[in-house]
Chains A and B, each alone.
Chain A
Amino acid sequence: MPQFSRVLVVAAVGALLAFGPLKSALSQSQTLLNVSYDPTRELYREINQHFIKDYQDRTGVDLTIRQSHGGSGRQARSVIDGLDADVVTLALAYDIDAIADRGVLPKDWQGRLAKNSSPYTSTIVFLVRKGNPKNLADWDDLIEEGVQVITPNPKTSGGARWNYLAAWAYELRRSGGDARKAAEFVGKLFRNVPVLDTGARGSTTTFVERGIGDVLLAWENEAFLALNELGPDKFDIVVPSLSILAEPPVTVVDRVVDRKGTRQAAQAYLEYLYTPEAQDIIGRHYYRPTNAEAAAKYAEQFPALELITVDEVFGGWRKAQQEHFADGGNFDQIYQPQR
């Protein structure tokens, strides 16, 4: 797939080289490619429309923004393999770290924009069947015998890593910092998982369409989407006492924008995400705005709960990845035969 997209990009660049001079003589025009993760499709479609108009009014440049969506890790890999992304807007910082490791952008990228480069946040909540027949209120209810939990596989899904870490953080807090207890807790939870899909959308399908499981661990925005699209008469959202603050980060891909000469537009695009206008769109799509005003406007829609961060509890994404999700890490040990 990366090869194929490279061919596409080469073809696109070829076409640009051929027609670029001609077109730019008529009017200033540029193309940006935003490489993002799965559930942001609708969000960025709306933001792009507004930004293109805004940018043309301010600078006269006629922008075209293309979007690419897929699993966060796979998208990062395409960029590493040469996909010409001007900006990346991924599910977790680790995936952008992996791109930075290849020298495509500086390693201190996360300090370049406000709020850890995360224009919005989200969290993990429970989606349960209508009326909550199994009375699931918090994380410790999920490890009871006979409860079926649906989550994707943390090894293939960025969203599932947040699920896993939230459960871990919960037990760590409850046991007063005992990592062994936390490992046991997460092990029990995952033994209640009958199907490990490869991505978040796959898990939603398993839960909603196939009718498997009592509870789906989901992105807050996905849970709201499922509720609104598929009918509030079928599901309820349950908010646990503690969850994780997911900060999906964004950054400019330096090597690409410097080559294409699109740095200014790319930078403006990402800064636009922090404006009140964009923050309002973000709130409307059930992501938590970071702008205080927009946050206040949508406060009612987001239940208050305690949110911990990966940096506080796990010492950053690199460390969390290494300890929990790398081969032989804590997640793999759940499924090792007991000796």
Chain B
Amino acid sequence: MDSVVASSVKAGQTQVARAGRRGCTPGPQAGRPVRRRLRFGVLPGFGLSMGYAVLYLGLLVLIPLATLPIKSTELGWIQFWDVVTAPGVLASYRLTFGASALAALVNLVFGFIVAWILVRYRFPGKKVVDSLVDLPFALPTAVAGIALTALYAGNGWLGAPLERWFGIKVAFTPLGIVIALIFIGLPFVVRTVQPVLEDIERELEEAAASLGAGRLQTFLRVLLPTVLPALLTGFALAFARSVGEYGSVVFIAGNMPMVSEIAPLLIISKLEQFDYAGAAAIATVMLMFSFALLFIINLLQWWQSRRGLGRAV
């Protein structure tokens, strides 16, 4: 969850920066006061709030996470390597990160469409749909897992026709895992993209059209660059959430070793054997992977917003 908090804060910043830029277009000739204000902020108390933030993050995020690598050092290098590269464990990394990436990609596309519809169109029941989007946030994930399993199992409402007419098995296969992860990841994309879409002025599209841009061109060169940072943030959040997901997945996955066993489940099964160090070792590897991926996504975002800035000035 740490990374989730971090990136959503970042998304907030980019948005604020963007809005600021658009609001006071005059720019450089306004002179020094703007810069000074930006550097020191409007409100006093930087030291106090920074100290609070560091203490808070330290207690709640850094110290608990730091215990993981420390615990796993009980193993020693060779044993650590053996634990984290066992065939079953490697298969579970592939599954966890692969299914999470796939689910986040699906959410990227369809989450964007949902956000677009919610922002741009008026239709009866819009408010209801809008609140439905948040449900996966609120629902205990085990409930979601059981509901999805009941629905997609061979005798379920959706599972039965799928299996009979298309020969597709969803529950108790890796496909089921992807579906569960799409379910829990959806609100992350919608809720990060929505405010940015709301901020886009229609005049920009009209201007693009009047300057001779086609629909696709308007979308690709006017809309997409504006929402891309938010989309990336949404993707990162959905992905991070999926990597750590346990509750809903264990019900629908079937949990077959080498096929549908996710990494968090392996951590649990190590704990069941009282193998705390082994569990910490797998967790450490997942932590490093996740951190690297989130770092890359944040870099992309930073690069994207820099590029946007360059063009604007």
Chain B 169-186 residues near chain A, CB threshold 8 A: 171-172
Interface residues on B, range: 20 to 34
Q: B65 interface residue, CB < 8 Å from A?
A: no
- B269 to chain A: which residues have CB within 8 Å? 153, 155-156
- A88 to chain B: which residues have CB within 8 Å? none
A interface SS class = loop
Residue of B150, B256, B272, B275 near A156 (CB, 8 A) is: B272
B155 touches A210 (CB 8 A): yes
B255 touches A195 (CB 8 A): yes
Q: B251 interface residue, CB < 8 Å from A?
A: yes
**A112–chain B nearest beta-carbon distance, Å:** 22
Q: B168 interface residue, CB < 8 Å from A?
A: no
- A336 to chain B: which residues have CB within 8 Å? 87-88, 258
What's the Cα separation between A3 and B154 when bound, in Å?
39
Using an 8 Å CB-CB cutoff, how does the interface string of B122-165 with A read, 1 for contact, 0 for none? 00000000000000000000000000011001111000000000
Q: A198 interface residue, CB < 8 Å from B?
A: yes
A212 touches B255 (CB 8 A): no
Chain B 241-259 residues near chain A, CB threshold 8 A: 250-251, 254-258
A337 touches B255 (CB 8 A): no
B154 touches A196 (CB 8 A): no
Among residues of B, the one whose C-beta sits closest to the C-beta of A153 is B255
A335 touches B88 (CB 8 A): yes
- B265 to chain A: which residues have CB within 8 Å? 156, 198
Residue of A73, A74, A197 near B255 (CB, 8 A) is: A197
What's the Cα separation between A326 and B83 when bound, in Å?
12
Q: B278 interface residue, CB < 8 Å from A?
A: yes
- A198 to chain B: which residues have CB within 8 Å? 250, 255, 265, 268
Using an 8 Å CB-CB cutoff, how does the interface string of A168-209 with B read, 1 for contact, 0 for none? 000000000000000000000000011111100010000001
- A193 to chain B: which residues have CB within 8 Å? 256
What's the Cα separation between A325 and B250 when bound, in Å?
20
- A289 to chain B: which residues have CB within 8 Å? none
Q: A77-B271, A196-B256, A202-B251 are in contact. Are A327 and B153 (CB under 8 A)?
A: no
A73 touches B273 (CB 8 A): yes
B275 touches A335 (CB 8 A): no
Using an 8 Å CB-CB cutoff, how does the interface string of B175-200 with A read, 1 for contact, 0 for none? 00000000000000000000000000
Chain A 50-108 residues near chain B, CB threshold 8 A: 71, 73-74, 76-77, 80, 98
What's the Cα separation between A183 and B272 when bound, in Å?
23
Among residues of A, the one whose C-beta sits closest to the C-beta of B269 is A155
- A46 to chain B: which residues have CB within 8 Å? none
What's the Cα separation between A326 and B150 when bound, in Å?
33
- A327 to chain B: which residues have CB within 8 Å? 83, 86, 270, 273, 275, 278
Among residues of B, the one whose C-beta sits closest to the C-beta of A101 is B274
What's the Cα separation between A176 and B309 when bound, in Å?
79
What's the Cα separation between A248 and B171 when bound, in Å?
34
Among residues of A, the one whose C-beta sits closest to the C-beta of B251 is A202
Among residues of A, the one whose C-beta sits closest to the C-beta of B89 is A327
Question: 27 A–B contact pairs at CB < 8 A?
Answer: A73-B274, A74-B272, A76-B274, A77-B271, A77-B274, A153-B269, A155-B272, A155-B273, A156-B269, A194-B172, A194-B254, A194-B256, A195-B255, A197-B255, A198-B255, A210-B149, A210-B154, A210-B155, A211-B154, A212-B153, A321-B273, A325-B273, A327-B273, A335-B258, A336-B87, A336-B258, A337-B258
